[in-house]
């Protein structure tokens, strides 16, 4: 299943929803740059992909400024409430933070601040113009897509349990259907306030007060000062070299460094000589992944709270040590069990005519986040804070004012200093794994970005909450592949041929002539647009 891959010279957009792609295209064609388009796309995704992202969530932006040649990153992930402590939950008789509900909504949403700061530094169009398309879709509605309907059905119990969600997604006691018009009037009013008054209305003004009043009434931990004191951060990117390319990732609290560790290990093998559809390939990838995840699970947290030995983890010498460990048992699956991680995210990419490039990703953590909406706001709050540990010895231990271990990891590859590939995906624990598939597909196997995204994918671990460390593989391979992997000790679980469990990836590649190829994942509702 291959989508049409547009190839164009002037600009390219790839998002997980066709309406968001159209919005980005319109912003560019009315004189905006890639940064403007990214903000407009981000806001629109919060309306048309509300199960994956929204104003109540976080966002990370990885950017290249064509005028200066600089690569930069913005971390728009929220900090935990001052009142959020392990003692609070233990006093409630809880051994862990709930995955849903008001007590999982304990981190300040960072996405609105990210929009504002990226726009202030790089934006070209007036702020109000960037939010107008999202407002129109909230106020006038849009047709429910295939993917949204799938998650509505999956999460029907949460929708029925929330008066706000029930009013949005149900009519006469039944869920809306694919193609039905979804109108989000409260969301429209909220976006109008942000359009008129900027980010401050969300973090210190009328909208903040409305959210806090509702959350306090419902027993929440977030308070006014948590919002007033919040600001995202401009950060220095992490990078590594791979076969003549430079790969960029966001630093912690993002898990982006794991992908760099994996590529450093793969430099020790001729990946192109390993058949892509072979058991050898999937064994190799899963073993590299386990090595990186072991260090990720040991160290990843908010770097303001605990030192993370990135210099060692990203060194070529350490990668060689890890590779030697893998080679010591070349056809034996090793063991590693990561904690269960949420998957629900929206990734998009934009390249404009000037050469500015934005690779960005946003999330509510779980599908429909905390499944909690502060009254009269239309904002679904994220449950990112539910991933904190109540164990004080854990790197990701809950502490006030702390950012959680974060799965979000937009990526970019450069060649001779210029952007070559923008890519990323939905999928929690699957994000670094799908990035590995795309990177090797393009850089080692010489595939187009659409071919790489459409390859049979895998995901190792417990992204979706199972107890075991299964290696899930799409059912598009020779049966001998699954048999051989089981013989080597892998707990193989075939899934559907184009399974949504593999996430939704998007990407853009820029060739030596300046032509841009764009791709959206056939597993989702996405679209690439170029001209």
- Written as tens digits, the pLDDT of the chain (531 aa) is 677 899 999 999 999 999 999 999 999 999 999 999 999 999 999 999 999 999 999 999 999 999 999 999 999 999 999 999 999 999 999 999 999 999 999 999 999 999 999 999 999 999 999 999 999 999 999 999 999 999 999 999 999 999 999 999 999 999 999 999 999 999 999 999 999 999 999 999 999 999 999 999 999 999 999 999 999 999 999 999 999 999 999 999 999 999 999 999 999 999 999 999 999 999 999 999 999 999 999 999 999 999 999 999 999 999 999 999 999 998 898 887 766 665 568 999 999 999 999 999 999 999 999 999 999 999 999 999 999 999 999 999 999 999 999 999 999 999 999 999 999 998 778 899 999 999 999 999 999 999 999 999 999 986 544 556 789 999 999 999 999 999 999 999 999 998 888 889 999 999 999 999 999 999 989 999 999
Q: Name the 3-class secondary structure at 139.
A: helix
* Known catalytic residue at 345: yes
Instruction: Report phi then psi at 362, rounded to 5.
Output: -150, 160
Instruction: Report phi then psi at 222, rounded to 5.
Output: -70, 140
Distance between CA atoms of 324 and 318, rounded to whole angstroms?
10
CA geometry: angle 488, 489, 495, nearest 5 deg: 100
Question: What are 115's two structure tokens?
Answer: 């929009």
Name which CATH class applies to 235-342+426-530: mainly alpha
The torsion of the CA quartet 265, 269, 274, 280, rounded to 10 degrees, works out to -60
Task: Spell out the residues 6+ positions from residue 328 whose beta carbon is closer than 8 angstroms to its own.
Answer: none
- 59 within 8 A of 369, measured Cβ to Cβ: no
Is 428 annotated in a binding site? The answer is yes
Question: What are 272's two structure tokens?
Answer: 């192109």
Q: Name the 3-class secondary structure at 415.
A: strand
Hey, where are the domains in the chain?
Answer: 235-342+426-530
DSSP assignments along 88-119, one per residue:
HHHHTT-SS--SSSGGG--B---HHHHHHHHH
CA geometry: angle 351, 111, 360, nearest 5 deg: 25
Q: Name the 3-class secondary structure at 372.
A: coil
Instruction: Report phi then psi at 271, rounded to 5.
Output: -60, -40
Instruction: Report phi then psi at 258, rounded to 5.
Output: -65, -35
Distance between CA atoms of 315 and 299, rounded to whole angstroms?
16
First to last CA, the chain: 23
525 forms bridges with which residues in the sheet?
A: 17
Strands (E), 426-485: 458-460, 471-474
Q: Which helix (H) or strand (E) holds 147?
A: helix 146-154
Instruction: Name the active-site residue from 345, 377, 407, 440.
Output: 345
Q: What does pTM read for this prediction? A: 0.96
């Amino acid at each position: 299943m291959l989508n049409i891959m547009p190839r164009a010279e002037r600009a390219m957009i790839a998002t997980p929803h066709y309406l968001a792609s159209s919005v980005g295209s319109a912003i560019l064609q009315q004189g905006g740059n890639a940064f403007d388009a990214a903000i407009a796309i981000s806001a629109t995704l919060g309306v048309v992909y509300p199960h994956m992202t929204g104003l109540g969530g976080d966002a990370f932006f990885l950017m290249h400024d064509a005028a200066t040649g600089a690569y930069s990153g913005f971390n728009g992930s929220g900090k935990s409430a001052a009142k959020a402590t392990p003692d609070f939950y233990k006093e409630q008789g809880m051994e862990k933070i709930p995955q849903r509900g008001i007590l999982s909504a304990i981190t300040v949403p960072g996405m609105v601040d990210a929009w504002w700061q990226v726009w202030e530094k790089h934006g070209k169009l007036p702020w109000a113009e960037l939010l107008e398309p999202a407002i129109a879709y909230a106020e006038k509605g849009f047709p429910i897509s295939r993917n949204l309907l799938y998650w509505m059905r999956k999460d029907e119990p949460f929708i029925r349990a929330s008066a706000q969600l029930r009013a949005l997604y149900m009519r006469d006691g039944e869920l809306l259907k694919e193609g039905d018009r979804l109108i989000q009037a409260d969301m429209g009013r909220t976006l109008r306030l942000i359009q008129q008054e900027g980010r401050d209305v969300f973090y210190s003004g009328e909208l903040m007060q409305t959210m806090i009043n509702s959350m306090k009434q419902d027993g929440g931990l977030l308070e006014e000062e948590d919002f007033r004191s919040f600001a995202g951060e401009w950060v220095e990117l992490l990078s590594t070299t791979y076969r003549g390319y430079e790969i960029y990732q966001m630093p912690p609290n993002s898990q982006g460094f794991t992908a760099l560790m994996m590529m450093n290990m793969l430099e020790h093998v001729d990946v192109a000589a390993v058949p892509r559809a072979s058991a050898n390939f999937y064994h190799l990838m899963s073993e590299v992944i386990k090595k990186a995840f072991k260090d990720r699970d040991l160290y990843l947290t908010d770097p303001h709270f605990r030192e993370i030995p990135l210099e060692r983890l990203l060194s070529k010498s350490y990668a060689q040590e890890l590779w030697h460990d893998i080679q010591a048992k070349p056809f034996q699956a090793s063991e590693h069990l990561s904690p269960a991680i949420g998957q629900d995210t929206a990734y998009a990419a934009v390249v404009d005519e000037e050469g500015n490039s934005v690779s960005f990703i946003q999330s509510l953590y779980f599908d429909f986040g905390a499944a909690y909406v502060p009254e009269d706001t239309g904002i679904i709050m994220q449950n990112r804070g539910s991933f904190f540990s109540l164990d004080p010895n854990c790197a990701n231990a809950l502490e006030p004012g702390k950012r959680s271990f974060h799965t979000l990891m937009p990526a970019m590859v450069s060649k001779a200093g210029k952007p070559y590939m923008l890519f990323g995906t939905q999928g929690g624990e699957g994000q670094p794994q799908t990035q590995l598939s795309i990177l090797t597909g393009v850089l080692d196997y010489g595939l187009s970005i659409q071919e790489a995204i459409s390859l049979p994918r895998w995901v190792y671990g417990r992204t979706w909450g199972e107890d075991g460390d299964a290696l899930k593989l799409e059912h598009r391979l020779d049966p001998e592949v699954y048999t051989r992997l089981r013989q080597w000790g892998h707990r193989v679980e075939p899934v559907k041929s184009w399974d949504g469990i593999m996430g939704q990836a998007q990407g853009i590649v820029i060739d030596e002539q300046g032509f841009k190829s764009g791709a959206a994942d056939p597993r989702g509702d996405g679209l690439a647009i170029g001209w």
